[in-house]
Each structure stands twice: as C-alpha cells, then as structure tokens.
Amino acid sequence: MRSERAFTLIEILVVMFLIGAFLAIAVPRFKDITDVNIKSASRQLSGTIKYLYNEAIFKKNVYRLVFDLDNQEYWVEYLDGNQFTAALDPILKKKKLPSGISFSDIYTERTTEKVDKGNEVFLVFLPTGFVDFAVIHLETTSQNYYTIVTKPYTGGTRVFDSYVDLEKINEEILR
C-alpha cells in the first residue's frame, strides 16, 4: 500500500499564522530602522556642516561640501591654489546616505531653484566665518522627511523632522 503524506489544513493554517506573526513584528521594526537612519544621516550631515565652518575659520581655507543627488553621496573639497581638491582627511571622505534615505532636493544661494538631481550642488565655507544659506531635504522610501537649514553667520544648522518649504523659512527660523 502506498502511503501519501500531505499537509493538513490545520498545519497550513499554523504555518500561515506564524508567518503573519513574524511579519507583524518585523515590518514595524524595518520602519523604525529607516527612521533611525534618517535621524542619523541628518545629524551626521549637520555635524559635517558645523565642522567645515570651524575648519574654514581655523585653517583659513575655503571648503565646499559637494552633493551628488544621483548617487546619494556627499563629500568635502578644499581650495588648493585655484581649484578644488578632494579632502584627504578620513573624517571628510565621501559618504553615502544610508539605505532607504535619499536627498529629496537641495536649495542653496548659488542655485536659482531647488535641485533634485545631478552632482553640481555645493555649499561654500569661507575663512571669514560664512557658509552659504541652504535648505537640504532628506527623504525615506516611505516619504518621511527631514529638513536641514544652514545658518550662514554661525555655521549652525536647524533640523526639522518634516518637509519645511523654502517659502516658510524666515529670519526667526535662522536665529
């Protein structure tokens, strides 16, 4: 006699329940990881901006923070003679945004409008204690946003956990 073994309906339901329970626990954790990543990316970018502001003053050199929106990277260059050269300091090396995070758009004093692609967007840091005004929008795959606004005369930043449009940014926010 041939014995065929098959799964019973109860066994299939138990397996489906276990998979569902696993997904119910894992999916919110993935969202939490993305939220942590965007917070971390905004803090790291803000720290880089403040660091470059201070470096430009103390080393009496011109720096620029270059953004590659197509590859979701940014890096630091310094003025060497009459051209910009990539910084050799390991702290200032090219950084890629974490998985699930991207630049939504960037506005600087040097652009006439928001830029959402390309690699010609940059902030300039002068040895006189000035950084370009900029509004940088980071976004998650689930369309959560963080906004980083530079303060030109202090080198500080203001970080918002939402998309703050350029028109809503005024003198009070920059203080």
Q: Is residue 33 part of a domain?
A: yes
Q: What is the pLDDT of residues 127-149, one digit of tens each?
A: 999 999 999 999 998 889 999 99
Q: What is the pTM of this model?
A: 0.78
pLDDT value at 59 more than 80: yes
Question: Any idea of the CA torsion for 49, 54, 57, 62, to the nearest 10 degrees?
Answer: -30
State the alpha helices, DSSP H only, in the chain: 9-59, 171-174
How many folded domains does the chain comprise?
Answer: 1
Q: Tell me the mean pLDDT in the region 87-92.
A: 87
Q: How far apart are CA 22 and CA 151, in angstroms?
A: 45
Q: Is residue 130 part of a domain?
A: yes
CA distances to 23, 69, 103, 110 from 121, in Å? 40, 8, 11, 8
Write out the residue range of the structural domain in which residue 132 sits: 9-174
Q: Is residue 1 part of a domain?
A: no
Q: Tell me the mean pLDDT in the region 107-122.
A: 88
**Which CATH number do you get for residue 166?**
3.55.40.10
Whole-number pLDDT of residue 118: 85
pLDDT value at 17 more than 90: no
pLDDT value at 46 more than 80: yes
Q: Is residue 126 part of a domain?
A: yes
Q: Is residue 92 part of a domain?
A: yes
Q: Pairing relation of β-strands 63-68 and 73-80?
A: antiparallel
Q: Is residue 31 part of a domain?
A: yes
What b-and-e string marks burial along 91-106, b requiring 16 or more CB atoms within 10 Å of the CB? ebeebebbebbbbbbb
Whole-number pLDDT of residue 1: 53
Whole-number pLDDT of residue 85: 94
Lowest mean pLDDT among 9-13, 64-68, 108-112, 134-138: 9-13
Tokens of 38: 């965007």
Q: Is residue 3 part of a domain?
A: no
Lowest mean pLDDT among 15-29, 30-44, 50-64, 157-171: 15-29
Q: Is residue 119 part of a domain?
A: yes
Q: How far apart are CA 160 and CA 145, in angstroms?
A: 8
Q: Tell me the mean pLDDT in the region 35-63.
A: 93
Q: How far apart are CA 15 and CA 119, in angstroms?
A: 49
Q: Which amino acid is at 11?
A: E
Q: How far apart are CA 130 and CA 75, in angstroms?
A: 19
Q: Tell me the mean pLDDT in the region 57-86.
A: 95
Cβ–Cβ < 8 Å for 163, 147? yes
* % of the chain at pLDDT higher than 90: 59
